[in-house]
Amino acid sequence: MGAGPAGAAAALTAARAGASVVLLERGPFPGSKNVYGGVVYGRVLDEVLPRWWEEVPVQRWVTRRSTMVLTETQALTVDFRTVAWGEAPYNGCTTFRSDFDSWLAGKAVEAGAQLVTSTVATGLIREGGTVVGVRTDRPDGDLRAKVVIAADGVNSFLAKELGLLPSTDAAHLTLGVKEVLSLPREVIDERFGVRGDEGVDVEILGCTRGIPGGGFVYTNKETVSVGVVVSLEHLTAAKVRPEELIADLKAHPAIAPWVRGAEVKEYAAHLIPEGGYDHFPTLHADGLLVAGDAAGMCLAAGIWLEGVNFAIGSGLAAGRAAAAAAQTGADLASYRKDLESTFVLQDHKRLRKAPGLVLSPRVQGQYPGLIADLVEGMFTVTNPTPKPGVVRLLRAAANKHGVKLRHLAVDALAGGRTFR
Amino acid sequence: MLIVALLRCTDLRAEVDPLTGAVSRDPRTASLSAADAAALEHALRIADTWGGRVLALTAGGPEADGPLREALALGAEVRRVPLHSSYIEELAVDERSLAKLVVSALGENRPDLVLCADRSADRGTGALPAFVAHELGVVQAPGLVALQVEGDQLVAERRLDFGRRERMRVPLPAVCSVEGAGVRLRRASLPASLAAANATIPLVDVALPASPVRVVQARPTRPRPRHLPAPTGTSRERLLALTGALLSHEPPTVVGPVGAAEAADALLDFLVRHGYLSEARTGWAVP
Ligand SMILES: Cc1cc2nc3c(=O)[nH]c(=O)nc-3n(C[C@H](O)[C@H](O)[C@H](O)COP(=O)(O)OP(=O)(O)OC[C@H]3O[C@@H](n4cnc5c(N)ncnc54)[C@H](O)[C@@H]3O)c2cc1C
């Protein structure tokens, strides 16, 4: 259910394994309704679609990745670029979901899956606790199946229907909003210092008025995506409209020169599951598997925002497990074991503490200012007063932002443990 | 009985470059306009009642196959006359040769009824139905907002000026072009959609007849630049002029609650009083 990356990947492996597969999508074509920031890390496709990079509908290959810390008036950027990411097998690419999802679903159709669009799955058909199909909004719309894969994205109604997900879970959801801004290609090349197919991925901390979250800027061929991802609960409590945060970001002295004169082409918003490993639902039930965002598999840990690759990874595994179950009656529990042996659960497990740490009040509210002040102090030439030492600057900055050095040590240790 | 639904599948949300006027269309969002969908629904309803068959025919590129599969899932036969061209080239095709093309694509199958949209969403001259009627040598009923079978008669309703309607009997064979009103295209069942999902759409290979119209040049319309004088006055004055904030004006009037007839009278009265309608043109007596 759902022709996003998870559903299309599941349909691809299941159809290749010889199962009879229907891929149901509510939109008029795959990806038509889907929203994300902009970068897909495609290496997950190496095994199933060798040389995928030759045909993936790419906007730009990310060869430059910057991590930015902002305060209202300051910006500190760690900027990395490498030629290697601009050559096969590449690292990440910016791509539009309408193109990418259509392409991936097309691969599933080539493998033998049947794609039915403009059709909403409205519920599960159950017999004695076992899922035996789905209901859809079409006339005569019941579809019986040996296995149903819920790949219907965040806030999955199918997983909720079985009680695998809580009915509301604002604490583990963030809201992502973005604008797509149109600029001529040469202007983007010039402003971002890239050429040809090269693109830039900028992840930003400290740009959300203290609401836990972060921001991003990605370059496409002739557009730039600018957005923020913020905690749903804190956004509500702060009574701030998300578009105000994007407006702030676009007006920031470090960002404004990039987007000056650009025309807004699109505005979009979407939820992101951000609970991580500790909040995954049960991944299977009798006759049902849950994959991708429906299972909360988006890795949203501050400077990482990877959902599509995790959706594909879990989808591929779900397709394999479903085909085995349909053909040989294998146990669907093999799905979780399979996931545990891949990056999907291993990365999530390793980074399970990352969302908590990156979204913690100190990292969000105090450290951006502290770091920016420290760097400003280091590089401000105060003659005739002699240069202050770094330790003195650090103390002063920590004091100003209400951070005890003890906190710094604790968080550094926690960071070391989380990202080890 | 053969009912032909002549459909145009096009991107209804094509992008127009504000500077160059160039139109870019996305084949994935090609679909039927509300009027095309209404034409197909009328065809299906009439065929249901009179036991006819429906042929959905379109001239266009492969982007039309999606909507045609939907028509197939609804029980229509489908055919496509392959016609690949850019938006500009399409605009340059004269409707008369297009009408000849679709009629020749029908071959020996003379339809009893042709249904199509009153005008296409993206070309919009509304001339095609008349040319098709001419090519077939049958009558034409354009601009219909309702069409139904009453016994063995086909009764149509047409919108006239000043809110009037015209009801007429349509003798067959005929070409009826409809507005996107009154009916909604039914949804195909899931089994039928599944069966149609990978169906190949049969192509009818007929060439576009030579056109008596010679196209000299086709290019996007680009509005001429207009010289706008710099605004005068202060920004405050301009804001006041734009919003009329300090001008005296008639305060909003709440009439009612009243019945529908009284409300309509009050509205007409208001329009007449403010010069939007003349009593003579409405033909209504205003109390
Ligand atoms: C603002 C934002 C920025 C992001 N940035 C990135 C990024 O840069 N890189 C990255 O890798 N990830 C990013 N993500 C995360 C990423 O978008 C998701 O993790 C990913 O799309 C999950 O894929 P999925 O297939 O599980 O779900 P989805 O992509 O949500 O797909 C679900 C599909 O199911 C369909 N569907 C839903 N309900 C039904 C139903 N009842 N019946 C039929 N069909 C249904 C939907 O139409 C959709 O096609 C971002 C997310 C957001 C919101």
Residues A309 and A383 in one domain: no
CATH number of the domain encompassing residue A240: 3.30.9.90
Q: Give me A93's structure tokens.
A: 């690419």
Per residue in A345-369, pLDDT tens?
999 999 998 888 888 889 988 999 9
A305 and A158 co-located in one domain: yes
B79 inside domain: yes
Give the span between the Cα atoms of A45 and A4, in whole angstroms.
15
A154 in the same domain as A36: yes
Is the residue at B110 inside a domain? yes
Lowest-pLDDT range, A194-198, A219-223, A299-303, B189-193?
Answer: A299-303
**pLDDT for the residue B282:** 55
Q: How confident is the model at residue B163 (pLDDT cuts 50, 70, 90)?
A: confident
- Domain end residue (candidates: A254, A273, A292): A273
Whether the per-residue pLDDT at B283 is higher than 70: the answer is: no
What pLDDT shows up at residue B285? 52
Distance A36 CA to ligand 1 centre (A): 7
> What distance in Å separates the CA atoms of residue A13 and residue B128, rounded to the nearest whole number?
48
User: Which residues in chain B touch residue A138, judged by CB atoms under 8 angstroms apart?
Assistant: 187-190, 193
- Which of A56, A152, A45 lies closest to A99 in space, CA to CA? A56
**Which residue matches tokens 């193109």?**
A99
Same domain, yes or no, for B271 and B135? no
Q: For tokens 């701030």, what's the residue? A: A240
CB neighbour burial string for A398-417, b if at least 16 within 10 angstroms, e if fewer: beebebeeeebeebeebeee
Are B191 and B263 part of one and the same domain?
A: no
Number of structural domains chain A divides into: 3
Is the CB of residue B199 less than 8 Å away from at least one CB of chain A? no
Task: Give the global pTM.
Answer: 0.89
- Dump pLDDT digits (tens) for A114-125: 999 999 999 999
Q: Is the pLDDT of residue A225 over 60?
A: yes
Task: Tell me how many degrees the CA angle B266-B271-B276 measures, rounded to the nearest 5.
Answer: 170
Contact predicate B31/B64, CB 8 Å: no
**What is the phi/psi pair of residue B172, to 5°?**
-95, 155
Residues 6+ apart with CB under 8 A from B92: B215, B218
pLDDT per position as a tens digit, A180-193? 999 999 999 999 99
- Residue A323 inside a domain? The answer is yes
CB nearest A138 (choices: B31, B189, B198): B189
Asked whether the predicted pLDDT for residue B161 surpasses 90, the reply is no
Helix (H, G, I), strand (E, B) or coil at A5: helix
- CA B18 to the chain's CA centroid: 24
- Most informative mutation of A23, A36, A118 for ligand 1 (most atoms within 8 A of CB): A36
Element (H, E) at B53: strand B53-60
CB B80 within 8 A of CB B101: no
The one-letter code for the residue type at A109 is V
- A284, A332 Cβ separation under 8 angstroms: yes
Whether residue A123 sits in one domain with residue A264? no
Distance CA A31, CA A105 (A): 9
In chain A, the percentage of residues whose pLDDT exceeds 70 is: 100
| Contact between chains at A139 and B190 (C-beta distance less than 8 A) | yes
- Check whether residue B287 and residue B160 sit in a common domain: no
Domain boundary among A273, A292, A314: A273
Q: Which residue has the tokens 């070309």?
A: B123
B213 lies in some domain: no
Residue B150 lies in a domain: yes
Q: What is the pLDDT of residues A154-164, one digit of tens each?
A: 999 999 999 99
Last residue of a domain, one of B196, B213, B237: B196
Closest CA to A33 of A25, A22, A24, A41: A25
Which single residue is written with the structure tokens 């990156």? A358
Please give the full DSSP string across A206-268, using - where no structure is assigned. Answer: S-STTSSEEEEEEE-SSEEEEEEEEEHHHHHHHT--HHHHHHHHHHSTTTHHHHTT-EEEEEE
The domain that contains B191 carries what CATH number?
Answer: 3.40.50.620
The domain boundary, picked from A351, A377, A399, lies at: A351
Q: Do B29 and A116 touch (CB under 8 A)?
A: no
Residues 6+ apart with CB under 8 A from B238: B231
Q: Compute the average pLDDT of residues B148-162.
A: 92
Which candidate, A307, A419, A271, A399, places its Cα nearest to that of A41?
A307
Reduce the DSSP state of residue A353 to 3 states and report it: coil
Are A38 and A13 members of one domain?
A: yes
Q: Give the rounded distance of the alpha carbon of B49 from its chain centre.
A: 24
Residue at A80 is within a domain: no
Q: Is the pLDDT of residue B221 over 80?
A: no
Contact B47, B146 (CB under 8 A): no
Q: Please report whether residue B58 resides in a domain.
A: yes
CA distance A181 to A167: 35
The helix/strand/coil state of B230 is: coil
Work out the minimum CA distance from A257 to partner chain B, whole angstroms. 23
Q: Considering only CB atoms, which chain B residues are within 8 Å of A139? A: 186-190
Is 60 exceeded by the pLDDT of residue A279? yes
My answer on whether A243 and A289 are in the same domain is: no
Cα–Cα distance, B220 to B92 (Å, whole number): 11
Regarding whether B270 and B144 lie in a shared domain, the answer is no
The arithmetic mean of pLDDT across residues B172-189, rounded, is 96
Higher pLDDT, A16 or B214: A16
Interface check A113 vs B, CB under 8 A = no
Taking the CA of residue A197 and the nearest CA in chain B, the distance in Å comes to 22
pLDDT at residue number B287: 45
Q: What value, to the nearest 5°, has the Cα angle with vertex A372 and ends A370 and A376?
A: 115
Q: For residue A78, is it within any domain?
A: no
Check if the beta carbon of residue A181 is closer than 8 Å to that of residue A247. Answer: no
**Cα gap A99→A39, rounded to integer Å:** 13
Cβ distance A114 to B197 less than 8 Å, yes or no, reads: yes
Which tokens sit at B28?
A: 């994935």
Q: Say yes or no to pLDDT of B194 above 90.
A: yes
Query: Residues B79, B57: contact at Cβ < 8 Å?
Result: yes
In a domain, B230, yes or no: no
Question: Residue B59 and residue B51: Cα distance in Å, rounded?
Answer: 26
As a whole number, the mean pLDDT across chain A is: 94
pLDDT, one tens digit per residue, over B106-124 is 999 899 999 999 998 887 7
What integer best gives the mean pLDDT of chain B? 89
Query: How far is it, in rounded angstroms, from Cα B47 to Cα B41?
Result: 10
Residue B226: both structure tokens together: 């207009």
Calculate mean pLDDT across residues B215-227.
77
Pairwise pLDDT comparison (B253 vs B138), residue with the higher score = B138
To the nearest 10 degrees (0 to 180), the angle between helices B95-106 and B128-136 is 50
Q: Is the beta carbon of A40 within 6 A of some atom in ligand 1?
A: yes
- Is A392 in the same domain as A318? no
Match 């025309």 to its residue by tokens.
A263
Q: How is residue A83 annotated by DSSP?
A: S
> Which DSSP state fits B213?
S
Residues A115 and A153 in one domain: yes
Looking at A159-173, A281-295, B58-72, which range is the least confident one? A159-173
Q: Is the pLDDT of residue B286 over 60?
A: no
Rounded distance between C-alpha atoms, residue A306 and residue A37, angstroms: 10
Residue range B237-257: average pLDDT?
82
Chain B interface disruption, residue of A101, A120, A140, most B CBs within 10 A:
A140
Domain count of chain B? 2
Q: How far is the CA of A225 from the centre of ligand 1 (A)?
A: 17
- Comparing alpha-carbon positions, the chain B residue that sits nearest to A142 is B190
My answer on whether B155 and B81 are in the same domain is yes
Give the residue among B124, B92, B121 at the shortest CA–CA distance from B13.
Answer: B121
Does ligand 1 come within 6 angstroms of the Cβ of A369? no
CB pair distance less than 8 Å for A138 and B194: no
Its domain, for residue A113, covers 5-59+95-166+281-351
Q: Distance (Å, rounded) from C-alpha B79 to C-alpha B106?
A: 9
Q: Judge if A101 and A127 occupy the same domain.
A: yes
What was the pLDDT predicted at B124? 73
State which residue of chain B sits closest to A99, comparing Cα positions: B28
How much is the CA Rg of chain A, to the nearest whole Å? 23
Average pLDDT on B8-36 reads 88
Same domain flag for B59 and B186? yes
Q: Do A109 and B31 touch (CB under 8 A)?
A: no
* pLDDT tens string A75-101: 999 999 999 999 999 999 999 999 999
Residues B169-180 have a mean pLDDT of 96
Q: Within this chain, do residues B79 and B191 fall inside the same structural domain, yes or no?
A: yes
Nearest to A329 by CA among A159, A149, A128, A147: A147
Q: Rg for chain B (alpha carbons), in Å?
A: 24
Q: Same domain, yes or no, for A147 and A296?
A: yes
Residue B253 and residue B192 share a domain: no
The answer to whether the CB atoms of A140 and B191 lie below 8 A apart is: yes
CA dist A312 and A13 (Å) reads 11
pLDDT confidence of B222, banded at 50, 70, 90? confident
| Domain presence at residue B31 | yes
Tell me how far CA of residue A67 lies from CA of A313, A376, A408, in angstroms.
Answer: 26, 17, 20
Lowest average pLDDT, out of A224-228, B110-114, B260-264, goes to B260-264
Contacts of A99 (CB under 8 A, 6+ apart): A31, A57
Q: Please report whether residue A88 resides in a domain.
A: no
* Residue B256 and residue B185 in one domain: no
Percent of chain B residues topping a pLDDT of 90:
56
| Residue B145 forms part of a structural domain | yes
Terminus-to-terminus CA distance in chain A, angstroms?
A: 36
A229-255 confidence digits (pLDDT tens): 999 999 999 999 999 999 999 999 999
Say if residue B274 is in the same domain as residue B158. Answer: no
A344 strand-pairing partners: none
Domain presence at residue A405: yes
> Could you tell me if A159 and A175 lie in one domain?
no
Residue A64 belongs to a domain: no
- Which positions in chain B touch A22 (Cβ < 8 Å)? 194
Using CA atoms of A181, A183, A189, A194 in order, give the dihedral in degrees to the nearest 10.
Answer: 10
Find the domain containing B278 and state its range: 249-287
On whether both A199 and A186 belong to a single domain, the answer is yes
